[in-house]
Amino acid sequence: MNGAAADGAAPVPYTLADYATLARAGMDPAVWDFCAGGAGDERTLAANVEAYDRVRFRPRVLTGMGQPDTTTRILGRSWAAPVGIAPLSYHTLADPAGEVATAGAAGRAGLPLVVSTFAGRTFEDIARAATAPLWLQVYCFRDRDTTRALVQRAERAGFEALVLTADTPRLGRRLRNMRNGFRLPEGIVPANLTGDGFASPADHALAEFDAALDWTVIAWLRSISSLPVLVKGIMTPADARQAVASGAAGIVVSNHGGRQLDGVPATLDVLPEIADALQGACPVLVDGGVRRGSDVLAALALGADAVLVGRPVLHGLAVGGGAGVERVLGTVVEELAETMTFTGTAAVDRAEPPLVGGPEPAGQLPQPPPNRTAVPGLRKEELHGSVRDPVLDTMNFLNEVTHRYPDAVSFAPGRPYDGFFDTEDVFTHLRRYLDHLAAEGATPEQVRSAIFQYGPTAGQIRELVADSLRKDEGIDVPPASVVVTVGCQEAMFLAVRALISGPDDVLLVSSPCYVGITGAARLLDVEVCAVEESEKGFDCADLEAALLAERAAGRRPRAFYVIPDHSNPSGTTMPLPARRELLDLAERHDILILEDSPYRMVSPGEQLPTLKSLDRARRVVHLGSYSKTLFPGTRVGFVVADQPVTDDAGNTGLLADELARIKSMLTVNTSPVSQAVTAGMLLSVDGRTSELNTRTAAYYGDAMRVTLRELERCFPEDERSALGISWNEPGGGFFLSVTVPFRADNAALERSAEEFGVIWTPMSYFYPRGGGETSMRLSVSYLSHAQIADGVERLAGFVRSALRTEHLDTEPRVLSP
């Protein structure tokens, strides 16, 4: 082996093979066979290694690329390299510190660790040692409560994802263990399973694993946890597509289940067709046979986003404890970077199939430069990952359905009712503002400039906005703390961009959540932590638990986004005690609250005070919009950011100043014409938008009552109870949520539109980490009362049809007409 030392000293390991040799020499033969044999049939492991041995790279010269970039981003988290540690049971067989030592080493290397269900150390101990992402490898037991307890325990400890091992219930016939009669040594037990009474993982699998699993297990896992689910054991394009369709956030190409089939292909051999089938729909990881850094680049070139390294990590742990693991990971990354240099691969996301192709045809001449006058072709995978994000696809799908069925009654758009708008009013409001400027002493040239020129980045109507907030909402802030934005969407974008400064910063959101904030976070590559609401709405205890979990995982929670009044999509409203508790929590945990509350002025009755009006410690950044209270065509919003910001020289300004700096590079300024029309409307009521919305609030309140009345008429109480249909009853706003006993997904929506002429929005669109699969959002704002009655009637017809299609009516019932 390499690195033999003089004077009888232990040899120095230089390659992963060296670590294997040293580990084997120091282990009991039976233990070595258990650790080195791989899960399942030994031929499978050999085939995986041999597939990488067949790879031949094409070297490139004079590339001028400099130091290659090995960093990557998976599920919103940055990795130092596209390498993670595969799930391996009982690290304590290699070293008493076990997974604790491995987690510490992974953190120092900046690489994630997938912890086995059969770990030898507790999740809590492992999490305390970890500073890089932890994922939990999940076996689904027949006793679902056991699996639920494991998953929720890991989530509380700060784990970030679940990796469902799908190629069970059999782990395969581990022939080495059978020949050795291997049993786990005394004291080596699954630390996170108590009272199991089994001596080996295989025994446990045969006795306790659920042999009747189907694809619905993904939805079940997502229902008991907010963590994304990856499916491990994918070996065909069909299964890969089904995993994504079932809600998986990623897949692991792996044949470690040891299926007892002759000729099981190597993972590297099936990887290209699987990656091609998914077309970037989710991260693709590959597991099995990686023994060199060059193997990593080969997998990336053939379609993987990252690889998982298994047995070499145990070898390093056995040879040198946590330091040995760190050296193994360092060796892999160093070899990866070296191979990238020799192949001219500047970054890991530029690894493509030609890297590992055969030799170029003899005598092939260089191609001439492309015709620059032709339309250039772009590869979608070369664009920002947000263009492939499911959130963008789902909203596009909803728009497509709406345009395809123009005669359908649509409960989808959350926009104001058209009947309140008069075209001539725009000119009246514009003239009122121009007259106001003149009355304030502006010269004709200044009035002209206020309309035709760019205007100040932070906005030219900040004084009027601040005055309106004081009169309408009791929010008393100086105009300098206000930035006028292009709708509330820009306000969200500016706030998130300013507050999230590094890869470990986290934005927390109440879930279900308005897609505008999660979309902005995705465009900015910002990590989002979803804080699940119960049926009763937001609970501060859930937020505090999420904050503690994020910090335990080495991340820094920065802000929490919430719609406290008549929220979009669920329609819930936060009670006053919860508002005060939230402000106390924000101060105690040193985070900011992003308050978005566009539905207050258009809801009937007296409204609870805003978070910002209750804020005494400047913990609330208030995001606002005139789209609902005035009209959406102005595209005028605002952000109130009165938090002090101090620079290195000790100079102090406002967060609003920093947002204006960002805005200057984003939209330059908000349209002066739109600001003028908005200002004219505010001037018409002396800043009190509540007066402008007396009639609209009454209309929307009536629309909500009509919708609830029609739902009760079409689904009488005894029937809806028997069918499992329910809905909430918001006191205002535009939205309510209906729960049904079947999947209310895109396929159901299309059938609803085509066959019954009614459109709604799947609630699953609004869950950043999965959920809401059996609920639909209804928007009541855009329809007349007659259309609402007709639409609910059509919806009832669709729901009953869907129940029959899904065979959910298990006994005869008399359905109301």
Residues that are catalytic: 256
Cα–Cα dist 737/729, whole Å: 8
Q: Which residues pair with 779 in a beta bridge?
A: 735
Cα 164 from Cα 250, distance rounded (Å)? 10
From the centroid of its chain, how far is CA 20? 38
Rounded to 5 degrees, φ, ψ at 71 are -70, 150
379 CA to centre of own chain: 24
Bridge-based pairing of strands 592-596 and 556-562 is parallel
CA distance 629 to 598: 8
Name the DSSP letter for residue 479: G
- Please name the residue that has the structure tokens 């998953």: 151
**DSSP secondary structure letter of residue 7:** T
CA 63/CA 486 separation, integer angstroms: 44
In 3-state terms, what secondary structure has residue 177?
helix
- Eight-class DSSP state of 646: E
Cα–Cα distance measured from residue 468 to residue 624, given in angstroms and rounded to the nearest whole number: 12
Q: Residue 692 belongs to what H/E stretch?
A: helix 689-692
The residue to which tokens 């005035």 are assigned: 630
Residue 726 pairs with which residues in a beta bridge?
A: 739
C-alpha to C-alpha distance for 672 and 670, rounded to whole angstroms? 6
**Alpha carbons 168 and 255: distance in angstroms, whole number:** 11
User: Treating both helix axes as pointing N-terminal to C-terminal, what angle do 423-439 and 672-684 enclose, rounded to 10 degrees?
Assistant: 90
Q: What angle do CA 669, 673, 677 make, to 5 degrees?
A: 120
Instruction: Count other Cβ atoms within 10 Å, centred on residue 589.
Output: 15
In the beta sheet, which residues pair with residue 135? 114, 161
Query: Strands 161-165, 134-138: parallel, antiparallel or unpaired by DSSP?
Result: parallel
Which two three-digit tokens encode residue 251?
């897949």
Which residues, including other chains, have CB under 8 Å from residue 462's CB and lie 6 or more apart?
479, 480, 482, 483, 484
